Chains A and B, each alone.
Chain A
Amino acid sequence: MRRTRRALLRGGGATVAAAAVLGLVVAAAAAVPVLWPHDAMTTTFGSILEAPSLAHPMGTDGVGRDVLARFGEGARISLLIGLVAVVTGALAGLLIGLTSGLAGGAVDEVLMRVMDALMAFPTLMLTMAVTISLGSGLPSATAGVTIGTIPWFARVARSETLRITALPMVEAAVALGMGRARLIRAHVLPHMVSVLVVQATATYGSVILSVAALGFLGLGARVPTPEWGAMITEGMEPALTGAWWVAFFPGLGMLIVVTCTSVLSDRIRDVLDPRGSFSGVKGVT
């Protein structure tokens, strides 16, 4: 474990910088809502669209709310939704992939065709369709993006299951009478974890972008929830009237999170798979 951590940090300045900056965003998400004196929801009619200053480092929005407070609250929402969607999607995908890979035959065919059908839609269209059918709001948006991630995890889990169960040592273990449950616990899952971790880190950034896109389109967070995509929508017109800060900071937050997770997922792939056998994993080039 310690060796892996050291190997991750050996990746150079970019990895360290990405980890540090992402750490700062996580710290902001944790600390701002608790420590910052301004509330993300409180309107102050006397101070609308104030430019960044010491009192309001990220300025105020169209109804006088502190943008930093909303940025921090928005970071918490985006990071948490990303985590929930990726973990849920990974678990569901793992279950489907394992079942498909181990059962084979008709079960494999049916499950994979369903996954193919889901993958046939552009991800944003699929998440929008799910969100609209469930009714707009953050829970629906989370469900939408989660469903969008499942096929990718399922595909990876299935191919890994097939690869691992074909290994000579696994075949030997099965020949010696190892049960299916123990086979999964002892061989399949341990060999699959690293590739799923790479898949998850690669997916995390796009999930955050998808949630923001839904928020931007008015299908995500409800007024006045400070989700980053919704904040960008709120800041569109102020940006045209010179108040650039309302949309800029949530946009910057997304840029930072997506960039950092991409750099880190790259490095994680390099460390866990130095020979490049994960090249089929979505998002890894």
Chain B
Amino acid sequence: MMGKRSRLGAAVLTTVVLASGCAGADSTPDVRKADTGRKGPLLVNILGAPTTLDPAVACGVNDMHLMDNLYSRLVDYGVKPGPAPGTTIFDPGAYRPDLATSWEIGDDGKTYTFKLAGGAKFASGAPIDAKAVKYSLDRTLTMGMCGKSYLNDGYDKPALIKKVEVVDPATVSVELRWPDPNFLQALAQPAASIVDPTVIEAHGGIAKGKANTHFANNPAGASGPFVLKSYEPGRSATLAANPAYHGKRPASENVQVNFITDTSTLLLQARNGKADVTVGLSKKAARSLEGNPCCKVAAFPSALSLDIALNWRYAPFANEKLRRALTHAFPYQEMLASVGQGYGEPFYGPMPPDMVGYNAEGSRQRQYDPDLARKLIAESGVPTPVTFELSIPAGQEELSEFATAVQSVLSKVDVKVTVREIPPSERAKILNSGAYEAIVISGGPGIVDPGYLLSYDMSCDSPYNITKICVPEADTNWAAARQTMDADKRQEHWDKVTAAWVEASPKLKFWSVPAMVAMDGSMSSLHYSVHPNFSTWK
């Protein structure tokens, strides 16, 4: 037990620290900023830390922080103008060459043939040729980790990719088991990174169904714009321009990346000018920085959305009228303006506004009508007060506030919500086992495409369908859309998916969640991608 003086000290310290703006939260290294003319490295503070540097193993969004900087792929996402001057954003509906200078898709939609840029080399000096491409893709497929799922565009059993073949040293082809119009996007994922076979073979090679632990903290060669100069797992990484890179030399020669897990520290560092770019700010933090001379704030549209997944295994949520009632209980615009700080776009549909296939007309936000909500609850036959437990990830203040707002709003329509905070370590287990009634999800798919998103968010037969949503008509059209090569016909299927999904009111949708980035005033160029690539940042 603490002594009396310690107690007094602790109490005084608590108050003083809080009153002074929690200055103690700032513990990341202050590498500079000795000069704002950026003679030193570009400083990037980013929320979360990668758990691996191996593209075949990388799973979550944090794992992707360095991937596109260290490795090239055959193709990359397209580019479109960003929300602020000097910024651009990735376009998931278009592709541009990376290592492949051109590609052809067979008439049957099952064969993709890529022509490689001649003379490309890894940082080691080894050639990036068709053999290296085949080696890299086969490695990801053989290891069977998350990368395999991404590379197969979410198709699991059987896998989408039948075989990868070397046609000649500058040509590689990929044969699919069925047509997939979204396959180029699968190849734009970090999972399709081209790794250096000489480096892999020097450190244990490839083992089937097994990760090579060496590459958790060491790069598998470098085919991308940067090489890794130093790496402190969970803390920081230093990147330097890759002299052997086949593309345009990075705008900043050196980049220091700090991985920060606490949003308060992220804000504090941005506000104090300790970062040139800050990625992952909370909405409230971003709003507080607007107008601050420290930074320019940009909200990049993304395919993430804020949802409440209703578990259909929980009896009341199998009732369509109750689900529909809940969708009418929320004052969405007021909630977005306050809890969401005005960042985001309200919608009600299976896919968010910034995704291919989105139907704006069919995905209009549900109308706030508490009287209708009460009427539908009464008609649903579910005894009142309706009760359910809403799970949220522990330690995420934004989601905690959101859950509080949900609790307060639903109490007005005789729905009693209790909030349960689940530790990050248990989240996956709870989701997969279905041991929840409703859960707040602020996120989106690894592959920005409705085919991939709905494979785990709606598909009736998928083992990854965490909420057990099953809307047969939407399901049929989803399956058809995934294999329709013609863009117009595919959109027709997506429109039918949207209509059937909306009719079934399977979950609660609030708004799309943009990615918040704060830039130092001196930043002149930044391209935002779901997998950050620092090569244009300066």
Task: Show the binding face of A for B, using Cβ within 8 Å.
Answer: 41-43, 45-46, 48, 62-65, 123, 136, 148-149, 152, 202-203, 205-206, 209, 218, 222-224, 232-242, 244, 247-248, 251-252, 254-255, 258-259, 262, 265-266, 282-285
Tell me, rounded to whole Å, the shortest Cβ–Cβ distance linking A49 to chain B.
8
B408, A43: Cβ atoms closer than 8 Å: yes
Instruction: Given contacts A218-B394, A224-B408, A237-B267, list 14 more A-B pairs with CB under 8 A.
Output: A45-B339, A222-B420, A236-B18, A239-B18, A240-B22, A240-B267, A241-B267, A244-B19, A255-B14, A258-B10, A262-B4, A282-B1, A283-B1, A285-B3
Q: Which 4 A-B pairs have the closest CB atoms?
A: A241-B288, A45-B338, A43-B408, A223-B419
Give Cα distance in the complex from A165 to B285, angstroms: 64
* Chain B residues whose CB sits within 8 angstroms of the CB of A259 once the complex forms: 8, 11
* Chain A residues whose CB sits within 8 angstroms of the CB of B282 once the complex forms: 237
Residues 268-310 of B, flagged 1 when their CB comes within 8 A of A and 0 if not, give 1001000000000010110110000000000000000000000
When the two chains form the complex, which single residue of B12, B268, B271, B287 contacts A255, counting CB atoms closer than 8 Å? B12
Interface membership of B2, Cβ < 8 A: yes
A240, B271: Cβ atoms closer than 8 Å: yes
Give Cα distance in the complex from A234 to B4, angstroms: 27
B1, A203: Cβ atoms closer than 8 Å: yes
A62, B421: Cβ atoms closer than 8 Å: no
Give Cα distance in the complex from A209 to B7, angstroms: 8
Q: A255-B14, A259-B8 are in contact. Are A224 and B407 (CB under 8 A)?
A: yes
Of the 9-residue stretches B67-75, B396-404, B453-461, which lies at the interface with chain A? B396-404
Residues 1-45 of B, flagged 1 when their CB comes within 8 A of A and 0 if not, give 111110110111011001101100100000000000000000000
* Chain B residues whose CB sits within 8 angstroms of the CB of A232 once the complex forms: 14, 18
Task: Show the binding face of B for A, using Cβ within 8 Å.
Answer: 1-5, 7-8, 10-12, 14-15, 18-19, 21-22, 25, 263-264, 267-268, 271, 282, 284-285, 287-288, 331, 334-335, 337-339, 392, 394-395, 397, 400-401, 403-405, 407-409, 418-421
Give Cα distance in the complex from A63 to B404, angstroms: 8
Give Cα distance in the complex from A205 to B9, angstroms: 12
Tell me, rounded to whole Å, the shortest Cβ–Cβ distance linking B385 to chain A.
15
Give Cα distance in the complex from A148 to B2, angstroms: 11
Q: Is the interface of A mostly helix, strand, loop or mixed?
A: helix
Give Cα distance in the complex from A233 to B262, angstroms: 12
* Chain A residues whose CB sits within 8 angstroms of the CB of B4 once the complex forms: 202, 205, 262, 265-266, 283-285
Cross-chain pairs A/B with CB under 8 angstroms, 10 sampled = A43-B404, A45-B334, A45-B339, A46-B334, A63-B405, A148-B1, A205-B7, A223-B392, A236-B22, A283-B3
Give Cα distance in the complex from A219 to B363, angstroms: 39
When the two chains form the complex, which single residue of A46, A63, A233, A255 contacts B408, counting CB atoms closer than 8 Å? A63
Closest to A41 in B: B408
A251, B405: Cβ atoms closer than 8 Å: no
A237, B1: Cβ atoms closer than 8 Å: no
Q: A136-B421, A285-B4 are in contact. Are A63 and B22 (CB under 8 A)?
A: no
Q: A41-B408, A205-B7, A259-B8 are in contact. Are A223 and B421 (CB under 8 A)?
A: yes
Give Cα distance in the complex from A110 to B3, angstroms: 27
Tell me, rounded to whole Å, the shortest Cβ–Cβ distance linking B402 to chain A.
8
Closest to A49 in B: B284
Closest to B336 in A: A45
Tell me, rounded to whole Å, the shortest Cβ–Cβ distance linking B507 to chain A.
21
Q: A64-B338, A237-B284 are in contact. Are A248 and B264 (CB under 8 A)?
A: no
A209, B10: Cβ atoms closer than 8 Å: yes
Closest to B334 in A: A45
Tell me, rounded to whole Å, the shortest Cβ–Cβ distance linking B405 to chain A.
5
Tell me, rounded to whole Å, the shortest Cβ–Cβ distance linking A119 to chain B.
9
Closest to A266 in B: B4
* Chain A residues whose CB sits within 8 angstroms of the CB of B338 once the complex forms: 45-46, 48, 63-64
Give Cα distance in the complex from A251 to B408, angstroms: 25
Closest to B19 in A: A248
* Chain B residues whose CB sits within 8 angstroms of the CB of A42 once the complex forms: 408
* Chain A residues whose CB sits within 8 angstroms of the CB of B8 once the complex forms: 258-259, 262
B1, A206: Cβ atoms closer than 8 Å: yes
